[in-house]
Structure 1
Amino acid sequence: MTGVTLTKAVKRYGATQVIHDIDLDIADGEFCVFVGPSGCGKSTLLRMIAGLEETTEGQIHIGPRDVTRVDPADRGVAMVFQTYALYPHMTVEENMGFGLKMNGHPKTEINEKVAEASRILKLDDYLKRKPKALSGGQRQRVAIGRAIVRGPEVFLFDEPLSNLDAELRVDMRVEIARLHKEIGATMIYVTHDQVEAMTLADKIVVLRAGRVEQVGSPMDLYEDPDNKFVAGFIGSPSMNFIEGTVEGGKLRVPSLGNRLVDAPVGLPAEGKPVYLGLRPQHLTIAPGDSDIKLDIRERLGGVSYDYLIPPGGERIIVESRDNTAMTEGTSVVIDFDTADAMFFDGETEQRLR
Structure 2
Amino acid sequence: MSGVTLQKVVKRYGDAEVIHGVDLTVEDGEFCVFVGPSGCGKSTLLRMVAGLEETTGGAIRIGARDVTKADPSERGVAMVFQTYALYPHMTVAENMGFGLKMTGHPKAEIAAKVTEASRILKLDDYLARKPKALSGGQRQRVAIGRAIVRGPEVFLFDEPLSNLDAELRVEMRVEIARLHREIGATMIYVTHDQVEAMTLADKIVVLRKGRVEQVGKPLDLYHNPDNRFVAGFIGSPAMNFIAGTVEQGAVRAPGLSDVPVQTGVALPGSGAKLVVGLRPQHLALAAGATHRVEMTEALGGVSFIHLSAPGGEKLVVEAKEDPSVRLGDRVGVSYAADSALFFAADEAGRRIR
Which of the five TM-score ranges fits, normalised by the shorter chain?
over 0.9
Partner of 1:92: 92
Please report how far the alpha carbon of residue 255 of structure 1 lies from its aligned counterpart in structure 2 after TM superposition.
2.1
Counterparts of residues 331-346 of structure 1 (less than 5 Å): 331-346=330-345
Where 2:151 maps in the other structure, the secondary structure is coil
Partner of 1:330: 329
Please report how far the alpha carbon of residue 268 of structure 1 lies from its aligned counterpart in structure 2 after TM superposition.
1.5
Does 1:294 find its partner at 2:290? no
Does 1:316 find its partner at 2:321? no
Partner of 1:148: 148
Contact persistence 1:77–1:155 (CA under 8 A): yes
Please report how far the alpha carbon of residue 322 of structure 1 lies from its aligned counterpart in structure 2 after TM superposition.
2.9
Distance in 1, Cα, partners of 2:326 & 2:235: 27
Partner of 2:27: 27
Distance in 2, Cα, partners of 1:64 & 1:206: 26
Please report how far the alpha carbon of residue 101 of structure 1 lies from its aligned counterpart in structure 2 after TM superposition.
0.4
Partner of 1:234: 234
TM-score normalised over the length of structure 1:
0.98
Runs of 4+ in 1 over 3 A off after TM superposition: none
Partner of 2:135: 135
- 1:229-272 deviation per Cα after TM superposition (whole angstroms, max 9, x unaligned): 0000000000000011111111111222xx22221211112212
Distance in 2, Cα, partners of 1:32 & 1:327: 42
Where 2:255 maps in the other structure, the secondary structure is helix
Contact persistence 2:40–2:207 (CA under 8 A): yes
Where 1:34 maps in the other structure, the secondary structure is strand
Distance in 2, Cα, partners of 1:330 & 1:313: 15
Please provide the CA RMSD for this pair: 0.9
Where 1:271 maps in the other structure, the secondary structure is coil
- 1:206-229 deviation per Cα after TM superposition (whole angstroms, max 9, x unaligned): 000000000000000000000000
Counterparts of residues 255-294 of structure 1 (less than 5 Å): 255-256=255-256, 259-264=257-262, 265-288=265-288, 290-294=289-293
- 1:45-76 deviation per Cα after TM superposition (whole angstroms, max 9, x unaligned): 00000000010010000000000000000000
Contact persistence 1:287–1:331 (CA under 8 A): no
Contact persistence 1:287–1:330 (CA under 8 A): no
Counterparts of residues 172-251 of structure 1 (less than 5 Å): 172-251=172-251
- 1:312-350 deviation per Cα after TM superposition (whole angstroms, max 9, x unaligned): 232100000132422332221111121111000112410
- 1:43 maps to a residue whose letter is S
TM-score normalised over the length of structure 2:
0.98
In the alignment of these two chains, the number of paired residues is 350
Partner of 2:303: 304
Percent identity, aligned pairs only, is 71
Distance in 2, Cα, partners of 1:136 & 1:61: 34
Distance in 2, Cα, partners of 1:216 & 1:332: 38
Give the unaligned 5+ runs of structure 2: none
Distance in 2, Cα, partners of 1:209 & 1:325: 42
